[in-house]
Amino acid sequence: QVQLVESGGGLVQAGGSLRLSCAVSGRTFSMFTMGWFRQAPGKEREFITAISRSGGGLYYSDSVKGRFTISRDNAKKMVYLQMNSLKPEDTAVYYCAADYEPPSVVVGPYDYWGQGTQVTVSS
């Protein structure tokens, strides 16, 4: 059984930074494409960023490009999301997800999901 556990969420002022972490257990981590998604109240879950198995392929939504950075450590079975220049519209529950296939920007292909971590950005 694959388990994903996010951490690092919290309350931050606009312009601040947070670093989210996602720990993966249960299967060979290097088999997975990893992605981060977020869901604000009343909205659909949206793609933010994804990273390929090797870490060489990086994908970002336009809304976070230049502000957020995804990375992974295959030895530690961890994926990270560094979030800088945060805005109130970044407020959401953030989820990490694992996929056996190449990176996707949609929710459907991802096989495993974490429980989410709340990020709140105050103005």
Kindly give the pairing relationship between strand 117-122 and strand 10-13. parallel
Look up residue 61 and give its amino acid: S
The predicted structure's pLDDT at residue 71: 98
Taking 80 as the threshold, does the pLDDT of residue 27 lie above it? no
Confidence of residue 96 (pLDDT cuts 50, 70, 90): very high
Cβ count within 10 A of residue 1:
6
List of residues 6+ apart from 56 with CB closer than 8 A: none
| In the block, residue with structure tokens 């103005």 | 123
CB atoms within 10 A of CB 86: 22
Q: What is the pLDDT of residue 103?
A: 86
Tokens representing 35? 């992605």
Examine the pLDDT at 98 and tell me if it is beyond 90.
yes
Distance CA 31, CA 119 (A): 28
**pLDDT single digits (tens) 37-88:** 999 999 999 999 999 999 999 999 999 999 999 999 999 999 999 999 999 9
- 121 burial (CB, 10 Å; 0-12 / 13-18 / 19+) is buried
Looking at 15-19, 26-30, 39-43, which range is the least confident one? 26-30
